[in-house]
């Protein structure tokens, strides 16, 4: 199954048996007729395929849509008319026209809808003071030593005042050195707790559930992910934590957590459906997620590439993702490990 490249319309998809054309927020009859006619012409050239015009949140009534479709079909050759279909979606869900269509076509429609939803989703502005805090914790637990304000500014991508405010809020946990660099004296438990309390709102995460009866394992998704060779994506969550902490007490891998580096807030999520076409975006936090995507917006992602070419998220990011997955017991254990390692590496154990 390949994405359609015609006219560079990334939301339009084609499979071996069907074509999906996507139109958003149509409110005029002319636009509907033009779209149906264009799809009919394509079906005349692709004689073995079915065609679906997928309308996202159309501003036209169901009766009007059905009438216009039937009027056009009367003018078409039977071999084309019987393969032309009109489907509508509202609020991210397919609502009309999906009755009695083949399962493979239905999955293609869902894939087109999910992709459009992904493209519509904007990322919230990052809290850069929190980013400064996380970066300082990273340097402490990895034994990287004191940091200058300039290094923090450049790595996060913020102004001096943002760094200064973040450091001031951390109070006595910060050690200020004679060369004006800073580091932590200890793991700032209270500040960390405050960050966790707001992390769900301030951090951007997208969850994907499986829409089929045969979900792929996280390990299978990871193998497909590695084959894409994306340099802007790293593995986090449970799998990433195991790389740093082999005593993690967990059986299996509940989901695959991936981190995308996007300092400019631009995201290409087309790869999700290359991992598994059955994956669909969900906002229901009680629905089991097979894939979680987190967005790293600082200038330096701090990803670590191993000798096999795989990329891994940093340990603090992995810790946050354990908490996000509600693996609180495992997260606290990993947090204690990182805190102890930070004390050891900083000579404060």
CATH number of the domain bearing residue 48:
3.40.50
pLDDT band at 228 (very low <50, low <70, confident <90, very high): confident
Task: Determine the Cα–Cα distance for residues 52 and 109; give it in Å rounded to an integer.
Answer: 8
Q: Which of 24-28, 174-178, 196-200, 250-254 has the lowest mean pLDDT?
A: 24-28
Task: Determine the Cα–Cα distance for residues 88 and 186; give it in Å rounded to an integer.
Answer: 56
Task: Determine the Cα–Cα distance for residues 212 and 280; give it in Å rounded to an integer.
Answer: 10
Domain boundaries, position 79: 2-120
Which of 120, 148, 170 marks a domain boundary? Answer: 120
> Looking at residue 118, what is its pLDDT?
61
CA atoms within 13 A on the CB side of 221: 28
Structural domain tally of the chain?
A: 2
pLDDT band at 213 (very low <50, low <70, confident <90, very high): confident
Q: What is the mean pLDDT of the chain?
A: 88
In a domain, 160, yes or no: no
pLDDT band at 2 (very low <50, low <70, confident <90, very high): very low
* pLDDT higher than threshold 90 for residue 309: no
DSSP letters along 162-202, please? Answer: HHHHHHHHTGGGEEEPTTS-EEESS--HHHHHHHHHHHHHH
In a domain, 79, yes or no: yes
Per-residue model confidence as pLDDT tens digits over 105-160? 998 888 888 777 665 556 777 889 999 999 999 999 999 989 999 999 999 999 99
| C-alpha distance from residue 143 to each of 26, 311, 341 (Å) | 56, 20, 8
In a domain, 129, yes or no: no
In a domain, 247, yes or no: yes
> Looking at residue 121, what is its pLDDT?
54
Q: Which of 23-27, 163-167, 335-339 has the lowest mean pLDDT?
A: 23-27
Which of 120, 155, 171 marks a domain boundary? Answer: 120
- Rounded to 5 degrees, φ, ψ at 83 are -105, 0
Only one residue has tokens 């033009």, namely: 34
| C-alpha distance from residue 84 to each of 73, 285, 319 (Å) | 8, 37, 50
In a domain, 178, yes or no: no
């Amino acid at each position: 199954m390949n994405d359609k490249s015609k006219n560079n319309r990334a939301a339009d998809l084609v499979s071996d048996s069907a074509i999906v054309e996507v139109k958003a927020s149509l409110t005029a009859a002319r636009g509907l007729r033009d779209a149906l006619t264009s799809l009919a012409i394509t079906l005349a050239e692709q004689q073995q395929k079915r065609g679906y015009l997928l309308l996202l949140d159309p501003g036209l009534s169901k009766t009007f849509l059905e009438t216009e479709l039937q009027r056009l079909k009367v003018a078409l050759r039977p071999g084309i008319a019987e393969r032309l279909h009109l489907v509508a979606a509202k609020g991210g869900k397919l609502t009309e026209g999906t009755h009695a269509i083949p399962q493979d076509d239905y999955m293609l429609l869902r894939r087109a809808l999910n992709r459009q939803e992904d493209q519509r989703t904007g990322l919230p502005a990052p809290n850069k003071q929190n980013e400064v805090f996380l970066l300082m914790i990273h340097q402490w637990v990895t034994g990287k030593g004191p940091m200058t304000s300039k290094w923090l500014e450049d790595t996060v991508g913020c102004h001096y005042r943002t760094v200064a405010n973040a450091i001031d809020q951390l109070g006595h946990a910060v050690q200020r050195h004679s060369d004006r660099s800073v580091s932590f004296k200890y793991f700032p438990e209270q500040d960390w707790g405050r960050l966790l309390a707001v992390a769900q709102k301030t951090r951007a995460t997208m969850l994907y559930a499986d829409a089929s009866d045969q979900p792929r394992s996280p390990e299978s998704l990871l193998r497909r992910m590695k084959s894409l060779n994306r340099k802007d994506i790293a593995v986090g969550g449970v799998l990433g934590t195991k790389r740093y902490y082999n005593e993690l007490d967990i059986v299996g891998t509940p989901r695959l957590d991936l981190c995308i580096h996007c300092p400019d807030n631009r995201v290409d999520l087309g790869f999700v459906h290359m991992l598994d076409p059955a994956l669909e975006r969900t906002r229901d936090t009680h629905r089991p997620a097979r894939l979680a995507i987190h967005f790293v917006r600082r200038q330096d992602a701090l990803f670590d590439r191993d000798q096999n070419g795989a990329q891994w998220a940093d340990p603090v990011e992995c810790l946050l993702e354990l908490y996000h997955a509600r693996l609180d017991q495992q997260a606290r254990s990993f947090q204690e490990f990182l805190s102890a390692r930070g004390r050891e590496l900083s000579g404060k154990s």
